[in-house]
Amino acid sequence: MSPESYILLMISGWLLVSAAMLWGMLRLLNRYQLEAQLAEEFPALPASPSDPVWRRQHAPRRAKLRARAQRTCQQHAHVLMS
Protein backbone atom coordinates (compact mmCIF):
# COMPACT_ATOMS: atom_id res chain seq x y z
CA MET A 1 0.00 0.00 0.00
CA SER A 2 1.14 3.46 -0.72
CA PRO A 3 1.80 6.04 2.02
CA GLU A 4 -1.18 8.10 0.80
CA SER A 5 -3.56 5.20 1.42
CA TYR A 6 -2.17 4.73 4.96
CA ILE A 7 -2.77 8.40 5.70
CA LEU A 8 -6.27 8.23 4.21
CA LEU A 9 -7.02 5.10 6.24
CA MET A 10 -5.73 6.74 9.42
CA ILE A 11 -7.82 9.89 8.86
CA SER A 12 -10.96 7.91 8.03
CA GLY A 13 -10.49 5.78 11.17
CA TRP A 14 -10.03 8.92 13.26
CA LEU A 15 -13.21 10.42 11.81
CA LEU A 16 -15.10 7.20 12.45
CA VAL A 17 -13.99 7.08 16.10
CA SER A 18 -14.82 10.75 16.66
CA ALA A 19 -18.27 10.30 15.07
CA ALA A 20 -18.93 7.31 17.34
CA MET A 21 -17.89 9.30 20.42
CA LEU A 22 -20.09 12.22 19.38
CA TRP A 23 -23.05 9.88 18.83
CA GLY A 24 -22.54 8.33 22.28
CA MET A 25 -22.33 11.70 24.01
CA LEU A 26 -25.45 12.98 22.24
CA ARG A 27 -27.27 9.81 23.23
CA LEU A 28 -26.33 10.29 26.89
CA LEU A 29 -27.32 13.95 26.75
CA ASN A 30 -30.72 13.07 25.28
CA ARG A 31 -31.30 10.42 27.95
CA TYR A 32 -30.47 12.68 30.88
CA GLN A 33 -32.44 15.56 29.40
CA LEU A 34 -35.49 13.28 29.18
CA GLU A 35 -35.00 12.19 32.81
CA ALA A 36 -34.78 15.84 33.91
CA GLN A 37 -37.98 16.70 32.03
CA LEU A 38 -39.80 13.75 33.62
CA ALA A 39 -38.55 14.77 37.06
CA GLU A 40 -40.01 18.25 36.54
CA GLU A 41 -43.35 16.90 35.33
CA PHE A 42 -43.74 14.31 38.09
CA PRO A 43 -42.57 15.65 41.47
CA ALA A 44 -41.25 13.29 44.11
CA LEU A 45 -43.72 11.41 46.25
CA PRO A 46 -44.45 12.93 49.68
CA ALA A 47 -42.56 11.66 52.68
CA SER A 48 -44.09 9.08 54.93
CA PRO A 49 -46.36 10.11 57.83
CA SER A 50 -43.76 8.84 60.30
CA ASP A 51 -41.32 11.50 59.08
CA PRO A 52 -41.15 14.49 61.49
CA VAL A 53 -41.03 16.97 58.61
CA TRP A 54 -44.25 15.54 57.19
CA ARG A 55 -45.90 15.74 60.62
CA ARG A 56 -44.90 19.40 61.04
CA GLN A 57 -46.25 20.32 57.60
CA HIS A 58 -49.57 18.58 58.16
CA ALA A 59 -50.09 19.47 61.83
CA PRO A 60 -52.51 22.41 61.18
CA ARG A 61 -54.65 20.27 58.90
CA ARG A 62 -54.72 17.41 61.39
CA ALA A 63 -55.65 19.84 64.19
CA LYS A 64 -58.58 21.20 62.13
CA LEU A 65 -59.80 17.69 61.38
CA ARG A 66 -59.50 16.69 65.05
CA ALA A 67 -61.46 19.77 66.16
CA ARG A 68 -64.18 19.10 63.60
CA ALA A 69 -64.43 15.50 64.74
CA GLN A 70 -64.77 16.60 68.37
CA ARG A 71 -67.50 19.13 67.46
CA THR A 72 -69.38 16.49 65.53
CA CYS A 73 -69.07 14.08 68.41
CA GLN A 74 -70.40 16.70 70.84
CA GLN A 75 -73.29 17.59 68.53
CA HIS A 76 -74.35 13.97 68.27
CA ALA A 77 -73.64 13.01 71.89
CA HIS A 78 -77.36 12.98 72.72
CA VAL A 79 -77.94 10.34 70.05
CA LEU A 80 -75.05 8.26 71.26
CA MET A 81 -76.11 8.42 74.93
CA SER A 82 -79.69 7.34 74.39
Measured CA to CA in angstroms, residue 27 lies from 14, 30, 33 at distances of 20, 5, 10
* pLDDT at res. 53: 77
Whether 45 shows a pLDDT value over 70: the answer reads no
pLDDT, greater one: 1 or 21: 21
| Same domain flag for 61 and 78 | yes
Residue 6 Cα to chain centre, angstroms: 51
| Same domain flag for 29 and 68 | no
| Same domain flag for 35 and 9 | yes
Whether 34 shows a pLDDT value over 90: the answer reads no
| Same domain flag for 39 and 3 | yes
% of the chain at pLDDT higher than 90: 30
pLDDT band at 42 (very low <50, low <70, confident <90, very high): confident
Supply the pTM of this predicted model: 0.44
For residue 72, give its domain range. Answer: 51-82
| Same domain flag for 31 and 56 | no
**What's the total number of domains in the chain?**
2
